[in-house]
Amino acid sequence: MVMIDVTYQGELRTEARHQPSGSKLITDAPVDNHGKGEAFSPTDLVATALGSCMLTIMGIVAARHDWKIEGATASIEKTMSASPPRRIEKISVCLKIPAGSLDDAARHALEKAAHACPVHATLGENVEMPVEILWD
């Protein structure tokens, strides 16, 4: 179990503190939802979590097999629904993975790992999540 404390700062801004590490982050409502858009919105963090989670799980699998994927990136595009209720409709992910000496079996294992990340499983059928993997 992990505890996270979130405090409303006013003007549609929050500060979250990760209890185990003390790390903090700020969220701000987006401009199209009455905010200033000066920081990640809560739904931006959901999209960010998906890309971060995919890379993390791929990293776990890569480490287990001594595959090198340092420098891998995720570019994420979040699309909100056009009609109420306001929600994330789609999160498109483009992963760029250094292929190095990865063979087809390694690539398949890493792709499977990306789709098996806990955030992907949590969002499930509620959000469209197309994933493109580019092997550099």
Give the span between the Cα atoms of 127 and 123, in whole angstroms. Answer: 6
Query: Helix, strand or coil for residue 57?
Result: helix
* Strand ranges, E, within 1-87: 4-10, 13-18, 24-28, 73-80
| Fold of the domain spanning 42-135 | GMP Synthetase; Chain A, domain 3 (3.30.300)
What is the average pLDDT value for the chain, to the nearest integer? Answer: 95
pLDDT surpassing 90 at residue 4: yes
- Average pLDDT estimate for 4-27: 96
Q: Is the overall model pTM greater than 0.75, yes or no?
A: yes
CATH 3.30.300.20 residue ranges of the chain are: 42-135
pLDDT at position 99? 84
Three-point CA angle 87, 93, 98, nearest 5°: 160
Tokens at 124, concatenated = 């499930």
- Across the range 54-82, mean pLDDT stands at 96
Whether pLDDT at 101 is above 90: no
